[in-house]
Amino acid sequence: MDAWNNLGIIAQECGNLAFSESCLRKVLVARPVSPHAHNNLANTLRRLGQSQQALHHYQQALVHDPQFVQACINQSSLLRELGHLARAAELAEQAIALDPRCAEAYLNLADLARVRQRPEEASRWLDALRAFAPDRVNAQGTTSGTALSAKVIAACHQQVLALSAEGRHAEVEALLTQTLANGNGPPTLWHLLARALRAQLKMEPALRIMTM
């Protein structure tokens, strides 16, 4: 099953999402209570635009492992895209309770606070992150600038999914680079940019984004 899992993840990174889904469903059949199997399949379904199915599998990942930090983050990010901001914030806070140094959760919470017109709360989350990971705050430009609207983020995400499914990674890179230059975007868009770079074997810039 490890081979199917690895193939599914590699196919996901390369934009071969239908094959990725097929591989990861095989893993889930063999390991129906594996939180990682649910989480990996959810990641692919999300990129396929199957948001509700993805949400179900993120939820199942947490059912089978309530301390699975990455599943909290992934579900929080998806719910933010779907407009369920309060629940997205709850899950990000849950991730911090499990791992107080989970930088992505602080960034998610700062982004959610900005979208909800709570600038002081956003500043508090960024200050908390700056205390142990100042580079993460500065690298993504979250200290200033205009937050992208939920509508812009959703539209960009759908375009990225469509382009990625066709293997048009250079266009994904261009789209995300332009979008992120126009305002502060959520960590999800940065991760998609890193994936597009990796798919083009641009490992150095992809690594810089993933380690910000």
Determine if the pTM surpasses 0.75: no
Over the range 68-100, which residues count as b (16 or more CB within 10 Å of their CB) and which as e? bbbbbbbbbbbbbbbebbeebbebbbbbbeebe
8 A C-beta contact, residue 37 and residue 24 = yes
212 residues of the chain, pLDDT tens digit each: 788 988 998 888 777 889 999 999 999 999 999 999 999 999 999 888 899 999 999 999 999 999 999 999 999 989 988 889 999 999 999 999 999 999 889 988 988 888 888 889 988 998 998 898 887 775 555 434 566 777 888 888 888 888 887 778 878 888 888 788 765 677 788 888 888 888 877 777 777 776 65
